[in-house]
Amino acid sequence: MSRAFPRRSSRLPGFGLSLGITILWLSLIVLIPLSAVFLKSGSDGWHSFSSAAFSSRALAAYRLSFGAAAMAAAINCVFGLLVAWVLVRYDFAGRRLLSALIDLPFALPTAVAGIALTALYADTGIIGRIVEPAGLPIAYRPAGVVVALTFIGLPFVVRTVEPVLADASSEVEEAALTLGATRIQTFSRVILPSIGPALATGFALAFARGAGEYGSVIFIAGNVPFKSEIAPLLIVTQLEEYNYAGAAAIACVMLLISFALLLLLNMLQHWQQRRGG
């Protein structure tokens, strides 16, 4: 006669209570407010929703917001990795000061950042008076949006990559160099695969932050419809015109696009981690 053994649970004690509190808090902070946006967007019917969310002006704003966010995040992946490399691999005077400056966009009000960038890149600014006569205008152009989003997105990449780069063993790099690999080969085949998931996470965070950015962009963008108008500004414009359903419709489209892109990036990151493991 076989003995019956009690079934052991693989979950830690308190899992049910912790999960319940988590779902409740997530619902109060995230799910219920977003559900209200969806409900408001459909309050006037599908025709009003499609007219506001898929108008030519809205489509142009989507292209600028998401395109500039993706471009800024890609730029930050390159230079953010360089900054993280310098902070981790080198010890020099002023290193702590430089590290503190990286976090400045986190604490700086976005409106202050927008005013400062506009003062620099306008045609009368220190940088603008040099680059604009050369045929490279930045302020009041889509390029100004990219500059602003690059400014506010840099800390996300640096702070995501920095701890992973610090934990990477230098012995593997030394072994690769000993076996005859060049520094470029060592970086591309040894270092980059190990920090790839962290770099992808930094890209996703910088992209998500930039897609919804408002304060630092409106001053330098110029806000010209079909040219330099971002989607968050279009939402504010709809609200000022008391078109709450139209503003909610544009917000829903932005939410769905952002969620789909972030889900895709997370799936790619998970696949890369499994492949590397």
Per-domain boundaries in the chain: 59-229
141, 228 Cβ separation under 8 angstroms: yes
- For residue 267, the model assigns a pLDDT of 80
The Cα–Cα gap between 30 and 36 comes to 10
Q: Please give the structure tokens belonging to residue 73.
A: 């995040």
With left for phi above 0 and alpha for psi between -120 and 50, is residue 230 left, alpha or beta? beta
- For residue 7, the model assigns a pLDDT of 53
Residue 79 pLDDT grade (very low, low, confident, very high; cuts 50, 70, 90): very high
Average pLDDT over residues 9-26: 78
Q: In sequence order, what DSSP letters do the residues of 247-264 get, joined into one string?
A: HHHHHHHHHHHHHHHHHH
Closest by alpha carbon to 208, among 167, 266, 136?
Answer: 266
Closest by alpha carbon to 88, among 181, 193, 169?
Answer: 169
Torsion angle (degrees, nearest 10) of CA 168, 171, 174, 175: -120
The whole-chain average pLDDT of the chain stands at 84
Residue 275 pLDDT grade (very low, low, confident, very high; cuts 50, 70, 90): low
Residue 171 pLDDT grade (very low, low, confident, very high; cuts 50, 70, 90): low
Average pLDDT over residues 57-83: 93
29 by Cβ neighbours in 10 Å (0-12 / 13-18 / 19+) ranks as: exposed
In this structure, the number of other CB atoms found within 10 A of the CB of residue 193 comes to 12
Over 90: is that where the pLDDT of 75 sits? yes
Coil, strand, or helix at residue 238?
helix
User: Does the model's pTM come out above 0.85?
Assistant: no
- The position carrying tokens 């005077």 is 93
User: Which is more confident, 90 or 180?
Assistant: 90
Helix-strand-coil percent breakdown of the chain, rounded to 5?
75, 0, 25
Long-range contacts of 258-265 (CB under 8 A, 24+ apart): 258/208, 258/211, 258/212, 261/66, 261/207, 262/204, 262/207, 262/208, 265/200, 265/203, 265/204, 265/207
What digits encode the pLDDT tens for the residues 100-151? 889 888 888 888 888 888 888 988 888 888 888 888 888 888 999 999 999 9
Which residues, at least 6 apart from 200, have a Cβ–Cβ distance to it below 8 Å? Answer: 265, 268, 269, 272
The CATH number of the domain covering residues in 59-229: 1.10.3720.10
Average pLDDT over residues 48-74: 92
Q: What is the DSSP-derived secondary structure letter of residue 164?
A: H
